[in-house]
Amino acid sequence: MKIGIINYSLGNVGSVLSAFNFYKTDAKLVSQPSDIDQCDLVVLAGVGNFKTAVDRLKSSGFWERLNQAVTMEGKTLLGICLGMQLFADLSFEGGSQPGFGWIKGKVIKIDDKSVRIPHMGWNKVQAFDNNIFQGMHQQYFYFMHSYHFVPEDKSVVVGTTKYGNTDIVAAVRHKNIIGVQFHPEKSQGDGLRLVRNLLEEIKC
CB 168 within 8 A of CB 148: yes
Per-residue model confidence as pLDDT tens digits over 101-150: 999 999 999 999 999 999 999 999 999 977 899 998 789 999 999 999 99
Beta-bridge mates of residue 126: 160
pLDDT value of residue 60: 97
Question: Tell me, what DSSP letter sits at residue 202?
Answer: H
Which distant-in-sequence residues (6+ apart) come within 8 Å of 187 by Cβ?
140, 141, 142, 194
pLDDT above 80: residue 23? yes
Residue 34: give its domain's CATH number.
3.40.50.880
Q: Is the peptide bond before 33 cis (omega within 30 degrees of 0)?
A: no
* Between residues 67 and 1, the one the model is more confident about: 67
What's the total number of domains in the chain? Answer: 1
Expressed as residue numbers, the domain containing 59 is 2-203
Share of the chain above pLDDT 90, in %: 91
pLDDT (0 to 100) of residue 202: 86
Given a contact cutoff of 8 angstroms between Cβ atoms, the answer to whether 3 and 20 are in contact is yes
Catalytic residue list? 81, 183, 185
Q: How far is CA 116 from the centre of its chain?
A: 22
- CA 41 from chain centre, in angstroms, equals 13
